[in-house]
Amino acid sequence: MDINLGVNMGNLKQLNQLSPQDQKLARKFEKVDYGWIVMSIGMAIGAGIVLLPVQIGVMGIWVFLGSALIGYPAMYFFQKLFINTLAHSKTCQDYPSILNDYLGHHWGIIPGILYFIMLIIWAFIYALTITNDSASYLVSFGVTSTYLSDNPLYSLCLLSALVWIASSKEKFLFAVSGSMAVIVLFIVAVMGVLLIPLWNLEAITQIPDWSTLWMNIIITLPFTLTSILFIQSLSPMVISYRSHFKSTEVARYKAIRSMNIAFIILFCVVFFFAISFTFAIKQEQAFAAQAQNISALAIIAQYYPGNWATYAGVLIDIFAVVTSFFGVFLGLREALMGLLRHLTKSYLQQELTDKKLQQGATLFVIVLCWLVTLSDWSILKLASLSGPIFGLVGCLIPAYLVFKIDDLKPYRTITTYFIVFTGILLCVSPLLHFTQ
């Protein structure tokens, strides 16, 4: 099958430089291409899409449009640059190994540390969202008269049950993750349409003064990016294509094409969903969601019980947030097992069995997430903490490679400076958020 969807001019120029045989190979659309597009969409769909409408509702439509004008193009450019730096490496194994290849030993530990911190942050976000949203739904549907999230046992039992499901059904979750990603994206698009009758153009408020507008745009930038970000899938995607094809250029072309298609689909659906949601809820409702520390989907259920959009929101919460929690938990557990294995071997001079390591890591994650739900930290402020991580891994480190390594000189373009600018904004964002 020959498909050119998602091929921009730069990619087309790259294609024309290939031999006729490689061109034919690159143009061919195969099962592996479909797989990586679906995987990328699945990586992007999560808490970002349910937190973004609350942030937009609080900040206003003009702030979102400003952050979208910076964030979405920057995200496209830095993900493309990320692919190029990966594909150009002589030994394409994993991102830490590639950093070691480019810059020498010890550099590879940086993304590992940042990835571990990111997993902890998002484990907290998902634990809080699931606990507070589920309690809000139970009240909205008349099952309970009080919010069970105020009861410490509720969050402990809920998190323990979810961790048990993730641990015992790990293979099943991986098998159905692709299908669930497509289902969630479809439901998000449907919900955007279902919200149209609820639109209220009062959301189009007066443009704030420039200093306030810029500060709020920077604060909102991490939320805009995480709504469709799938940089986590790019490294394994490039490695997969490099293992399938002898030509580095064919692998690069296919990776960029898959990224383009996933980006276009996600942008169209999520941008429409965010705009539709913004017009459907009033600013005071967004402030209520912020105060109750719940997602936009749960606030819709409070104000429009029985509406089809409410049921769509519940499905999105189940498929997107709960399944994303499963993925983050499994990743965090593996990272903790590696850390515990290293600590016990280095300091206790003994090696624990994998079963004991897994039990210890699982218990640690449950207790840590439970304590966070008891503290009821602000979900929006926690989400902003991921900004510097994406700024470093997605923007500043790849840009540093481009300016440091002579072999990457062709990528020193004006878009690279734009990527650096965005990376700096992402690093500054939580500072502004916490001091606002």
Please answer whether residues 293 and 376 qualify as being in contact, where contact means their C-beta atoms are separated by less than 8 angstroms: yes
Amino acid at 405: I
Backbone dihedral region of 376: left (phi > 0), alpha (psi from -120 to 50 degrees) or beta? Answer: left
For 72-96, what is each residue's pLDDT tens digit?
Answer: 999 999 999 989 888 877 766 667 7
For 32-49, what is each residue's pLDDT tens digit?
Answer: 888 889 888 887 887 678
Tell me the C-alpha to C-alpha distance, in Å, between residue 24 and each of 18, 88, 376: 9, 21, 55
pLDDT on residue 3: 46
What band does 346 get if pLDDT is binned at 50, 70 and 90?
Answer: low
396 DSSP 8-state letter: I
Backbone dihedral region of 142: left (phi > 0), alpha (psi from -120 to 50 degrees) or beta? Answer: left
* Residue ranges per structural domain of the chain: 9-435
Taking 50 as the threshold, does the pLDDT of residue 2 lie above it? no
Q: Which residues contact 49 (CB under 8 A, 6 or more apart)?
A: 188, 227, 270, 273, 274, 316, 320
Please answer whether residues 387 and 68 qualify as being in contact, where contact means their C-beta atoms are separated by less than 8 angstroms: no
How many Cα neighbours within 13 Å face the side chain of 148? Answer: 19
What percent of the residues of the chain are helix, what percent strand, and what percent coil, each to the nearest 5? 85, 0, 15
Two tokens at 20? 């006729």
d(Cα 204, Cα 63) in Å, to the nearest integer? Answer: 11
> Taking CA 151 as the corner, what is the angle to CA 148 and CA 157, rounded to the nearest 5 degrees?
85
Q: Which residues contact 392 (CB under 8 A, 6 or more apart)?
A: 110, 114, 423, 427
Amino acid at 390: F
pLDDT on residue 1: 45
pLDDT on residue 36: 87
Two tokens at 362? 């699982």
Which residues in 61-187 belong to E strands, given as ranges?
none
Q: What DSSP letter does each residue of 168-236 carry, written as one string? A: HTHHHHHHHHHHHHHHHHHHHHHHHHHTGGG--GGGS-PPPPHHHHHHHHHHHHHHHHHTT--GGGHHH
What band does 200 get if pLDDT is binned at 50, 70 and 90?
Answer: confident
Taking 60 as the threshold, does the pLDDT of residue 11 lie above it? no
Tell me the C-alpha to C-alpha distance, in Å, between residue 304 and each of 136, 157, 255, 285, 312: 13, 29, 42, 12, 12
Taking 90 as the threshold, does the pLDDT of residue 221 lie above it? yes
Please answer whether residues 251 and 98 qualify as being in contact, where contact means their C-beta atoms are separated by less than 8 angstroms: no
2 phi, psi to nearest 5 deg? -110, 110
Q: What DSSP letter does each residue of 347-364 carry, written as one string? A: HSS----HHHHHHHHHHH
For 260-301, what is each residue's pLDDT tens digit?
Answer: 999 999 999 999 999 998 898 888 888 988 999 988 888 888
The mean of the pLDDT values for the chain is 84
In CATH terms, the fold of domain 9-435 is: Amino acid/polyamine transporter I (1.20.1740)
d(Cα 77, Cα 73) in Å, to the nearest integer? Answer: 6
